[in-house]
Amino acid sequence: MGGHRLNLSTLVFSVAVIIVVSHSAQSLALKHSPRFLRKLAATGTPFAPPQFHYETRYFQQRLDHFSFSDLPTFPQRYLISTEHWVGPQRLGPIFFYCGNEGDIEWFAQNTGFVWEIAPRFGAMVVFPEHRYYGESTPFGSAKEAYKDATTLSYLTAEQALADFSVLITDLKQNFSAKDCPVVLFGGSYGGMLAAWMRLKYPHIAVGALASSAPILQFEDIVPPETFYNIVSNSFKRESFTCFNYIKQSWNEITSTGQTYNGLERLTKTFNLCQKLKSTGDLYDWLDSAYSYLAMVNYPYPSDFLTILPGHPIKEVCKRIDGAPAGTNILERIYEGVNVYYNYTGKEKCFELDDDPHGMNGWDWQACTEMVMPMSSNQDSSMFPPYEYNYTFVKEECWNDYGVKPRPKWITTEFGGHVRK
Amino acid sequence: MGGHRLNLSTLVFSVAVIIVVSHSAQSLALKHSPRFLRKLAATGTPFAPPQFHYETRYFQQRLDHFSFSDLPTFPQRYLISTEHWVGPQRLGPIFFYCGNEGDIEWFAQNTGFVWEIAPRFGAMVVFPEHRYYGESTPFGSAKEAYKDATTLSYLTAEQALADFSVLITDLKQNFSAKDCPVVLFGGSYGGMLAAWMRLKYPHIAVGALASSAPILQFEDIVPPETFYNIVSNSFKRESFTCFNYIKQSWNEITSTGQTYNGLERLTKTFNLCQKLKSTGDLYDWLDSAYSYLAMVNYPYPSDFLTILPGHPIKEVCKRIDGAPAGTNILERIYEGVNVYYNYTGKEKCFELDDDPHGMNGWDWQACTEMVMPMSSNQDSSMFPPYEYNYTFVKEECWNDYGVKPRPKWITTEFGGHVRK
């Protein structure tokens, strides 16, 4: 009897492994889609005491600018400072930051550049929040706004750009500033918005400064390996051995995970609070650290995504490479990612993201318009090899949100392909 | 008793006159809004045997390009000819006519220019139909599509432009013609679409020929008197006496209408099939004739809106001015408008438009986005003086469609104001 039970449970275990692996591959597929701020944007770091001064205001926006459906309006939050503005007579410019996928105060506090140059240009500064993020949620609450595909359906880049255009038009009228030039700013997804807005609303903005804005990361415009190659090169540039340790670590994780008690050993090595459920979850956790490190590899200390030293990738590699002889690869990796997850040394253990498919604004956008193919190349990338599979993405999006992505829409609406 | 009754009915009569006048002013307000093809586009002239050869195809379009609502798709009809196209190898251009507010076959048959130049350029010719017109109706039928503000809500210029962009992108892929330049064509509202599309989708079209496209007829960009001044000048240029007869005729109509049996006399003078209900209806009928005559004042015989001689305004004025001495003003006017309403001489009597507020695509567009202020100036216009009143328009639109116009939206979305 006991033997039978054992066999049966072994069988169940094998099936479970297959499911886990297949889930991991799918999960990787979605994550390997556009790697933007995602949940970080919702949680962020605890705000430092405000460095910059502004007023907080609200503007009632149409939920749908492009139809005449009878939908409720929603309050769009915006931060505004006229402290240094020289006014309409002297054609004082309006510096307009295109809010991206998160709380606008977080972006305002972390975009010193705009605040620093505003006095020199005598500029008004406006930081509007992107619809569906922060306090700018339709339907009265984030819970209602994120309920399902119907309530989320107006969370698109075109609607956000129309919000900005309507807000600017209204502000200009209220400040009698019709002739004052508007200059757009933005980074990451907000940079994409700034660039697209300059293209689509040239009558509204005379210029745009778009930073780290992957507007060409759609369809087949750039090779799908581009993103992970750039991240990998940021590590390779610091240290080839560091790059190689990371590159080798994935197989170590997989083979360790497949051994008896392997997941427990990984849990211990990486000091996780909860027992690791699958190696895929650990992959994601490490992938996040490396990717975000490359995004915020500033030459000075920062606390945008988390508290980090200047040149954080250099610091990661220093710890990976510099561990005492005999330290195994996974221990080295653990030392390295501590820079990202625990630079202050205050974390007792690490919580992995246990709800990767929760309702989340950016994931919705990635499942609708922001279909950005991303692969990881066997040779040039330090990440596990992965070939982008649109079918997986489509299925995940259907399962998570009941929505069909439109992978060709962004290039149709905003362009990007170069004609011969 | 008899005296009392008489007084009472006189009182009722006076009240009725006030109501009629006020209705007339309101009705005038709506009509004086954008004077486009309106119902003509639905009925048109009976098609002449096709002069140009094309295939008719259908393309499934999203009803809403700018949200991810789960809405039914609809078939967009388009006419296509590759007869003279030199193909992708030789980068043969694609001539793309931006379908306007009517049956696309009607426009195709009346846009000889595109067909005539296509062979010279080795161009493909495409005539896509505008959503909600002709056969390109959502929800399975025109009746369903025009049911109410909810079903009509996706009838907007932005959605139509997105239809065109998606269609072009698909055609280019199917014809392996990604590098072939697209040139847009359009007249009147279709010309507005061509101009706006070139602005908004520069990656899709390399050029646009927009003819008679009043993209500046919004808000306060041009004086509201512009349209009626241009129409009036077309008559004044032919003959100052003709211009003056028309200018004087409105008071004649009003004073005649106010006399005992006046509406019957007007009915007879203008050979109407049904007894005239109000002088306002006659105003509209005449206003239509003059306005459309100016729109189709071609130097050659045509049958676009109706069968007309070349230089039709010259012909109208010849009849108005040339009537025998002693002919009164209204008889002269009747002789004149016969050119427009009955050039073939086949009409036995005239039916006025008895349902000016019926569900109609262009009137919906005028009540939502296409808010084009139009006034008639006492001095320079030959039309009755009329001051544009947005409040009237708004009320009419609410009564007719249950929709609130957005008078500032077009300039926000497409620009038009000139910055100093």
Q: What percent of chain B has pLDDT over 90?
A: 84
The answer to whether residues B151 and B357 touch, using CB atoms and an 8 Å cutoff, is no
Average pLDDT of B74-81?
98
Longest dimension (CA), chain B: 92
- Both structure tokens of B245: 């007869």
List, for residues B32-77, the tens digit of each pLDDT value. Answer: 445 666 555 545 455 455 689 999 999 999 999 999 999 999 999 9
**Residue type, position B275, single letter:** K
Average pLDDT of A264-277?
97
Q: What is residue B354's predicted lDDT score, i.e. its pLDDT? A: 53
Among A131-145, A339-353, A383-397, B9-23, where is mean pLDDT lowest? B9-23
Whole-model pTM: value is: 0.88
Tell whether the model's pLDDT for residue A45 goes beyond 60: no
Using CA atoms, how far apart are residues B68 and A159, in angstroms rounded to an integer? Answer: 11
- 3-state SS class at A90: coil
The distance of B43 to chain A (nearest Cα, Å) reads: 26
Q: What percent of chain A has pLDDT over 90?
A: 84
Using CA atoms, how far apart are residues A190 and A200, in angstroms rounded to an integer? Answer: 15
Residues of chain B contacting residue A199, judged by C-beta atoms under 8 Å apart = 202
Average pLDDT of A33-51?
57
B20 falls in which pLDDT band (50, 70, 90)? very low
Residues of chain A contacting residue B149, judged by C-beta atoms under 8 Å apart = 68, 70
**Residue type, position B204, single letter:** I
Exposure b/e, B30-42, CB count within 10 A at least 16 = b: bbbbbbbbbbbbb
Q: What is residue B360's predicted lDDT score, i.e. its pLDDT? A: 82
List, for residues B362-416, the tens digit of each pLDDT value. Answer: 999 999 999 999 999 999 999 999 999 999 999 999 999 999 999 999 999 999 9
Residues composing chain B: 420
Using CA atoms, how far apart are residues A276 and A261, in angstroms rounded to an integer? Answer: 11
The answer to whether residues B121 and B83 touch, using CB atoms and an 8 Å cutoff, is no
List, for residues A283-293, the tens digit of each pLDDT value. Answer: 999 999 999 99
Contact state of B149 with A70 under an 8 Å Cβ cutoff: yes
The closest CB to that of A67, out of B154, B166, B203, belongs to B154
Contact state of B203 with A149 under an 8 Å Cβ cutoff: no
Backbone angles phi, psi at A75, to 5 degrees: -85, 120
If one compares B226 and A3, the residue with the highest pLDDT of the two is B226
Instruction: Look at the alpha carbons of B322, B328, B332, B338 in this order and tell me if their dihedral is positive or negative.
Output: negative
Tell whether the model's pLDDT for residue A11 goes beyond 80: no
Q: What is residue B39's predicted lDDT score, i.e. its pLDDT? A: 55
Burial of A177 (0-12, 13-18, 19+ CB in 10 A): buried
Tell whether the model's pLDDT for residue A16 goes beyond 50: no
- Mean pLDDT (chain A) is 89
Task: State the best of B66, B148, B406 to mutate against chain A, taking most chain A CBs within 10 Å.
Answer: B66
Among A342-356, B40-54, B149-163, where is mean pLDDT lowest? B40-54
Q: Which residues does residue B127 pair with via DSSP β-bridges, in sequence order? A: B79
CA-CA distances (angstroms) from residue B123 to B85, B91, B107?
A: 4, 9, 18
What torsion do the CA atoms of B290, B293, B299, B301 make, to the nearest 10 degrees?
A: -130
Task: Write out the residues of chain B at the interface with chain A, using a CB-CB cutoff of 8 A.
Answer: 64-70, 149-150, 152-154, 156, 158-159, 162, 165-166, 169, 178-179, 181, 199-204, 368, 403, 408-409, 411-417, 419-420
List, for residues B346-357, the tens digit of each pLDDT value. Answer: 999 999 875 544
If one compares A357 and B69, the residue with the highest pLDDT of the two is B69
